[in-house]
């Protein structure tokens, strides 16, 4: 660090070689120091509330992200991150339908309230079987039927295992949606304010969405390139979702870092509907030795709880 601030300090105290980091890069630091508009009324962009050192809540413009700096064009997004094969492990024993994964994903991908790339299902295999919460992203299958059936190559499987959609190529025929047995894909049925985001489009961010095209969970490759985990992983308060690279055999939920193969072996990991042969990249750990009773997942407004009314467990609950 050799900015002027440090130089002055070094001159004053030569016996100390102070290296000064603010946790931000020099460029970012400059913007923080120089560009924060104190007068919020003049700012039309998105604002965030922060606490100033004198204890005042101030509204400042959201940090401008230089999208072009990290921009991955639709063409470039067809190649995967080299020497990686991403994998997700979802621990059903820990999920209590807190929906933080859903909400953070929606926020990050600018999705309207009802559109969810990550969905939480209440699963119950049969009347007598135990119900459990099942977060379900796109499975990024190794034999992706959605990719096979696409007539224009708008959806593709990358070398890092991620299946993406280029919504500048997609013609909106919806064949991939019938091809996917996991209902992972959604159609942008109408134009909405959510589709108008001032940001260059990249299949890696899936933002902004486009009317008349298909979209789905993208495993957040933009975050991965940044060394960060997908939004659903970092958002989960229970550490339900593990994410990592299958080739280096390491997955993490942010708190705990485990070897993927050991985790799957120790906890009998499985893939949903394995017999369909789609080879998903998402594994589940069975809901045994649960940390929460299933009822904890109903701590939501009616609109959400209503979704599960057809599950035998819920039907029975309503009867009693």
Partner 1 sequence: MESNKRKQELLKEFLPQLEKTSIVWYAWVAFLFAAIFLGIYCLVLQILKGHIITGMRDNVVWGVYIVNFIFFMGISYAGALVSGSMHLFKTSWRGPILRIAELTTIIALFIGPLYILLCIGRLDRLPFLFMYPRIQSPITWDVIAITTDLFGCLIYLYLSFIRDFALLRDSGDTKLPKWRINIYKVLAIGYHDTPTQRKRIKNVTNIMSAMIIAIAIIVYSVLAWIFSVTLQPGWHSTIFGPYFVIAAVFSGAGVIIILMRVFRSVYHLEKYITKQHFVGVGMILMILSMFFAYFTFSEYLTKWYGSKKLDDNLIQILFTQYFWQFVFSNYVGTLLPIIIMGIPRFRTINTITFAAIVAVLALWMNRYLIVVPTLETPYMPIQDTRPEWMLYKATWIEWCLTFGGVGTFCLLFTLAAKFVPIIPVSEVADAELEMSAELAKGQDNHEATVTNSLKKQIVHKKEANEL
Partner 2 sequence: MSYKSILSRQSLILFLCSIMASFQLVAQNNASTLELKELKTSDESRIFNVKLTGESEEGAMPVFEAKIDFFTCADGKSESLGTATTNRNGQATLKLVKGTWFLKDKEGITEVKATFTGLGKLSSSQASVKFKELNLQIALSEKDSLNTIQILASVIGPKGENIPLKETNFNLYVQGLFTKLKIGECFVDGGAGTFEFPKNIPGDANGNLKVFVRLEENEVYGEVEKTDNVKWGNHRSGFVEPTRSLWSSGAPIWMITTLIILLTGVWSHYLYAIIQLIKIRKEGKKIDKN
Contact residues toward partner 2 (CB under 8 A) are 9, 13, 15-24, 32, 48-57, 63, 80, 82-85, 142-145, 147-148, 153, 156-161, 224, 227-229, 243-250, 252, 254, 257-259
Q: Is the peptide bond before 208 cis (omega within 30 degrees of 0)?
A: yes
| DSSP secondary structure letter of residue 270 | B
For partner 2, the closer of residues 282 and 294 by Cβ is 282
Q: Is 147 helix (H, G, I), strand (E, B) or coil?
A: helix
Q: Report the C-alpha gap between 62 and 148 in whole angstroms.
A: 41
What are φ and ψ of residue 288, in 5° steps? -110, 155
**Interatomic CA distance for residues 251 and 224, integer angstroms:** 13
Q: Smaller CB distance to partner 1: residue 187 or 292?
A: 187
The SS3 call for residue 186 is strand
- In the complex, least distance from residue 128 CB atom to partner 1, rounded to whole angstroms: 14
Per the rule left: phi > 0, alpha: psi between -120 and 50, beta: everything else, 215 is beta
Phi/psi of residue 284, nearest 5 degrees: -120, 145
Q: Taking the complex as a whole, how short is the minimal distance between the CB of residue 264 and partner 2, in angstroms?
A: 14
Backbone torsions φ then ψ of 75, nearest 5 degrees: -65, -45
Judged by CB under 8 A, the residue of 58, 177, 238, 317 near partner 1 is 177
State which residue, 192 or 234, has the beta carbon closest to partner 2: 234
Q: State the minimum distance, in angstroms, from the CB of residue 249 to partner 2.
A: 5
| Binder among 15, 41, 44, 189 for partner 1 (CB under 8 A) | 189
What, of partner 2, partner 1, none, does residue 170 touch, CB below 5 to 8 Å by kind?
partner 1
> Could you tell which of partner 2, partner 1, none binds residue 142, using a CB distance below 5 to 8 A set by kind?
partner 2
Binding status of residue 301 toward partner 1 by CB under 8 A: no
Neighbours of 309 (CB within 10 A): 11
Say if CB 228 and CB 70 are below 8 A apart.
no
Q: Please name which of 67, 50, 99 lies closest in space to residue 231, comparing C-alpha atoms.
A: 99
* R_g of the chain, CA atoms, integer Å: 23
Rounded least distance, CB 73 to partner 2, Å: 17
Q: Which is nearer to partner 2, 54 or 303 (CB)?
A: 54
Report how far apart, in Å, the C-alpha atoms of 91 and of each of 10, 71, 264 are.
51, 33, 10
Cα gap 58→85, rounded to integer Å: 43
In this complex, which beta carbon is closest to partner 2, that of residue 228 or of residue 315?
Answer: 228
Per partner kind, with CB cut-offs from 5 to 8 A, the member of partner 2, partner 1, none near residue 45 is none
Pairing of strands 86-91, 282-285: parallel
Restricting to residues 120-139, name those near partner 1 by CB under 8 A. Answer: 121-123, 136
Residue 54 partner contact from partner 1, partner 2, none using kind-dependent CB cut-offs of 5 to 8 Å:
partner 2
Nearest distance, CB of residue 273 and partner 2, angstroms: 18
Q: How many CA atoms lie within 13 A of 94 on its CB side?
A: 14
- Does residue number 112 form part of the binding site for partner 1 (CB under 8 A)? no
Binding-site partner at residue 177 among partner 1, partner 2, none, CB < 5 to 8 Å by type: partner 1
Our CB check for partner 1 shows the closer of 246 and 278 to be 278
Q: From the list partner 1, partner 2, none, pick the one residue 101 interacts with, judged by a Cβ distance below 5 to 8 Å according to partner type.
A: none
Instruction: Read off the DSSP letter of residue 139.
Output: -
List of residues contacting partner 1 (CB under 8 A): 114, 119, 121-123, 136, 145, 148-154, 169-175, 177-179, 181-183, 185-191, 210-214, 273, 276, 278, 303-304, 306-308, 310-311
């Amino acid at each position: 660090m050799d900015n002027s601030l440090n130089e002055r300090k070094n001159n004053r105290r030569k016996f100390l070689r102070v290296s000064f980091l603010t946790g931000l890069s020099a460029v970012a630091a400059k913007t923080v120091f120089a560009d924060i508009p104190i007068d919020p009324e003049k700012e039309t962009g998105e604002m965030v509330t922060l606490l100033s050192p004198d204890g005042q809540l101030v509204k400042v413009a959201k940090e401008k992200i230089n999208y072009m700096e990290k921009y991955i064009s639709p063409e470039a997004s067809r190649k995967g991150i080299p020497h990686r094969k991403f994998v997700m492990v979802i621990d059903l024993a820990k999920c209590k339908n807190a929906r933080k994964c859903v909400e953070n994903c929606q926020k990050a991908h600018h999705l309207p309230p009802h559109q969810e790339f990550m969905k939480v299902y209440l699963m119950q295999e049969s009347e007598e079987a135990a119900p459990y919460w099942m977060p379900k992203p796109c499975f990024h299958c190794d034999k992706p039927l959605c990719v096979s059936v696409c007539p224009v190559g708008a959806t593709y499987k990358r070398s890092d295992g991620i299946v993406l959609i280029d919504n500048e190529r997609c013609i909106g025929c919806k064949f991939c949606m019938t091809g996917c047995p996991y209902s992972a894909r959604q159609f942008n049925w109408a134009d909405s304010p959510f589709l108008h985001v001032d940001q260059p489009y990249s299949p890696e961010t899936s933002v902004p969405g486009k009317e008349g095209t298909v979209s789905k969970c993208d495993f957040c490759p933009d975050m991965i390139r940044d060394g960060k985990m997908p939004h659903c992983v970092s958002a989960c308060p229970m550490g339900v979702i593990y994410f990592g690279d299958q080739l280096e055999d390491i997955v993490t939920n942010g708190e705990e870092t485990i070897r993927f193969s050991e985790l799957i072996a120790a906890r009998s990991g499985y893939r949903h509907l394995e017999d369909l042969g789609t080879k998903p990249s998402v594994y589940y750990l069975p809901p045994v030795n649960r940390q929460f009773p299933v009822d904890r997942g109903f701590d939501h407004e009616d609109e959400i709880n209503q979704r599960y009314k057809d599950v035998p467990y819920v039907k029975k609950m309503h009867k009693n």
